[in-house]
Amino acid sequence: RLDGAYGAVAALEVLRTLAESGDSMAERVEIVGFSDEEGVRFKVGLLGSLALVGELDVGRLRGGQDWKGVPVPQVLATAGRDIDRLNEAKQHLHAVKA
């Protein structure tokens, strides 16, 4: 029910409300959003989630391309990401409590 842009805005609103109320939880909450979780562009669903838990098959992704024929590594580089570092996102999970 909270998918897409609505889910992102709802999360931001909750965090804003916490901050305005002075709740210290607002300082400990991080919002994470993913795009193309259905895998429409690269035919790899949950790409961001898999990277976040260190389970992304980078080898499979490396050979992929989008519907325009643009290689995945090139698309990622354009967005400032290095395909070889995607699974490093897992390093930030040590403090996750939910």
* pTM, rounded to two decimals: 0.66
Does residue 46 share a domain with residue 22? no
Does residue 14 share a domain with residue 42? no
Does residue 53 share a domain with residue 23? no
Under DSSP, the state recorded for 53 is T
CA 61/CA 71 separation, integer angstroms: 9
Residue 89: which domain range? 35-98
pLDDT tens by residue, 27-38: 888 888 887 788
Does residue 44 share a domain with residue 26? no
Mean pLDDT of the chain: 85
Which one, of 7, 29, 32, 31, lies nearest residue 18 by Cα? Answer: 29
Does residue 48 share a domain with residue 8? no
**DSSP codes of every residue in 17-48:** HHHHTT-GGGGT------S-TT-TTTS-TTHH
Q: Count of domains in the chain? A: 2
